[in-house]
Chains A and B, each alone.
Chain A
Amino acid sequence: MHPIADGLFTTSNPPQLIGGRDRDSNRIVFPCPENERYEPVPLKREGTLWSFTVQRFRPKTPPYAGPESFQPWAIGYVELPGQTIVEARIANVDFEDIEIGMKLKLTAVPLDPEDNSSPAIPAFEPVGDQA
């Protein structure tokens, strides 16, 4: 899978998301803005679910670039302790099992779930024993 955009994932194995640290305030944001003020920093791979919802209808195109045939997907904010809270897909878990506070780790999912060659977008999935 190729990432949906440059500068989102590190090239390390396993990959990490790349955040941006504000050189003045130390505030960390995601993604890293293309701006001298921000220094790229790798984000933690594990965190806890801060909030979530399920996208039940197909978003309008443009801008949505996903497939015409729509299957609902879960989206959430994941708190990476001491860094930032990132928005990403919540994957590999039934919708009814998603709970605020659950432990999650970084993964990636194809924009088109039927096509593994489609662009990869950041996602989080349950850690080990919860899955």
Chain B
Amino acid sequence: MSDVCIIGAGIHPFGRTDGMSGVDQGVFAVREALKDAGVEWTDIQFAYGSSDAAGNPDTMVDQLGLTGVQFINVRNGCAAGGSGLFSAQMAIKSGEYDIGIAVGFDKHPRGAFDAKPSEYNLPEWYGDAGYMVTTQFFAMKIQRYMHLHGISRETLGRVAEKAFRNGALTPHAWRREPVSLDAIMEAPMISDPYSKFMFCSPGEGGVALILASEKKARELGKPLVRLKAATMRTRPPGSFEVFAPSIDVERGGSATNIASGDAFEMAGIGPQDIALAQLQDTECGAEIMHLAENGFCADGDQEEWIANGHTEIDGKLPVNTDGGCLACGEPIGASGLRQVYENVVQLRGEAGERQVPGNPKTAYSHVYGAPGVSAVTIMEI
């Protein structure tokens, strides 16, 4: 079967943009992507749009043009962008369409996410008691992991230090100032062992990707950035998830394990073949644990990996080359597509100061979210 290709990518810078709605940022990203691909909105045959908190994506046709285009809205937690992208590539693979768009945007209020128990099929008392707080889960997941696998708190700090260093090189990042390891380690504690610099924040931003069949991409004369795999999976038994009043004594795998394993099988390559990766880093421990959950190293190896700079831009597996969620923030509907945007830019060799050296040919993206969802992509050029 011929591959689905990504022929255009556009982004509205992440962070806070007062006076601009989430939809406006999505529209901005679509226009950037159209320009990048050298096509018009009237060429677009279908769209999938993802947003969690910033309104219905299909309303953007008001601004882009009332062409009658098929436009499907996707709301699927932190996997919203990945789910939109998965659906878009299926629409092309099926032969129904030749060219379409996956767009994601969001605009969250300041502060932590305010989830309600009823949205997660949980009793009201669980929220009353103060447990609908995602940071608690992240902290307890890494505390357990550090205990089992000998990860130090300094290693957590080094992940944040790298994120802000990469963010400083990235025009679309929110946090563009390096932060010293000492400042990260000594900042006020949010949820032990994490200080405030070790968590990402909900934010704003928009990303659009234009997908085309290989035939269409060749006609347009675009570089063939091939989407070799896109998976979205839910959790297996015995996983540990956000907002869990109890978990099983018999421990199991994760949604990430499944999404990752299936993506590698689909792409016909393994973790050792990947040149760079964007891994969900809502907090520094997530990047560490996701290295292992996605098969890039064994549990516990991260201590040595981080100490030796293996995940730096010039390391053996550059991770979160644009600073990830830690430096870009997390607008849910756009976050997964930002990773793919970054991979497209890197594979084309257009990442400027943050370009991974050595002409990378393969790139990996991964998101994870409540209540146990994960989406993975593998791309090749």
Interface residues of A (CB under 8 A from B): 4-5, 8, 19, 27-31, 50-57, 59-60, 62-66, 73, 75-77, 79-87, 89, 95, 100, 111, 119, 121
Contacts and interface: CB of A to CB of B under 8 A. Distances in A.
B246 A75 contact: no
B244 A87 contact: yes
24 contacts: A5-B124, A27-B248, A29-B245, A30-B245, A52-B143, A53-B136, A55-B130, A56-B190, A57-B112, A59-B130, A59-B133, A62-B114, A62-B116, A63-B127, A64-B128, A65-B128, A66-B129, A75-B136, A79-B249, A85-B249, A87-B247, A111-B128, A111-B129, A119-B128
A53 B191 contact: yes
A59 B132 contact: yes
A5 B125 contact: yes
Given A54-B189, A60-B112, A84 B247 contact: yes
B352 interface: no
A95 B249 contact: no
Interface in B46-99: none
B261 interface: no
A76 B140 CA distance: 7
B112 to A, nearest CB: 7
Contacts of A95: 192
Nearest to A73: B130
Interface in B166-195: 188-193
Nearest to A98: B192
A64 B124 CA distance: 10
A86 to B, nearest CB: 5
Interface in B274-326: none
Given A53-B143, A56-B188, A59-B132, A87 B249 contact: no
A121 B130 CA distance: 11
A87 B125 CA distance: 13
B131 interface: yes
Contact of A66 (B130, B143, B144, B244): B130
Interface size class of chain B, counting residues whose CB lies under 8 Å from the partner chain: 20 to 34
Contacts, number: 113
Nearest to A19: B246
A64 B130 contact: yes
Contact of B249 (A52, A82, A111): A82
B123 interface: yes
A43 to B, nearest CB: 9
B125 A4 contact: yes
B111 A60 contact: yes
A80 B190 CA distance: 28
A59 B128 CA distance: 10
Contact of B191 (A27, A55, A83): A55
A76 B190 CA distance: 15
A4 B114 CA distance: 21
